[in-house]
Amino acid sequence: MRKNILITGASSGLGEGMAREFAAKGCNLALCARRMEPMETLKAELEAAYPNIKVFIRELDVCNYPQVFDVFKAFKEDMGSLDRVIVNAGMGKGASLGKGYFEANRRTAETNFVGALAQCEAAMEIFRAQNSGHLVTMSSMSAVRGMPRAINIYAATKAGLRTLTEGIRADLLGTPIKASCILPGFILTAINKDLKKAPLRVDLETGCRALVKAIEREPAEAKVPAWPWVPVGLAMKFLPLRIVAKMT
């Protein structure tokens, strides 16, 4: 069992939900995000509910790249080792290109891809030194095809993260270190709560339970929840773009 787990973007949404699931399994947690207050509340709640676990929290902006490395190293020192790092922090702001929203699109691209790259680098430095560990990246079903409007940049960054993870996995062949890319479908979070169309969306608790179950299998890649997103993902690859675009 991988006991010591670091989760970024842990102040809300999928990060918070996964922290709750892993805590219930008896895992120690290293939680980080930009907002400390929600994590302080979460830490107190989890340690009260599960007195045998330890929960460490730190402030982290994943676009502050030196801070990413410092925070990951500090968590490693706190816990002695890191068994699994879940690269989860991200954002979904943006708009169709050419409409004057470059800064929002740039911020999303930087946070979701370059910020994720920094997290992967920091995690892999620790894992290579340990010669053990499990890197998990949170991509999205939107990575399967290009998406229109506000999801355009978000989908592009998640596709990049998916490819990055596969490259890391190729680099790790023959080593004890594992890398998994998780593609969540529509799980209710702040990022997608305003979508007019979110077919087959599940609540946060159900979605996070499925995510943790998939992560613990340590697959190369997993679409979550498997039903219906495995067949939906297959359909998305081959459907005409005009049909895929209507899914959002």
Query: What is the rounded average pLDDT of the residues 4-32?
Result: 97
Name the residue with higher pLDDT: 233 or 244.
233
Q: What share of the chain has pLDDT > 70, as a percent?
A: 94
Residue 102 neighbours by CB under 8 Å, 6+ apart: none
In the residue annotation, 101 being an active-site residue is answered as no
Q: Which of 50, 65, 101, 154 is catalytic?
A: 154
**Report field, pTM of the whole predicted structure over 0.85:** yes
List the chain domain ranges. Answer: 4-245
Residue count (the chain): 248
Query: What is the rounded average pLDDT of the residues 63-72?
Result: 98
CATH homologous superfamily, domain 4-245: NAD(P)-binding Rossmann-like Domain (3.40.50.720)
Q: Rounded distance, CA 178 to CA 125, Å?
A: 13
Name the residue with higher pLDDT: 1 or 132.
132
pLDDT band at 197 (very low <50, low <70, confident <90, very high): low
pLDDT band at 191 (very low <50, low <70, confident <90, very high): low
Query: What is the rounded average pLDDT of the residues 42-71?
Result: 98
Q: Is 130 helix (H, G, I), strand (E, B) or coil?
A: helix
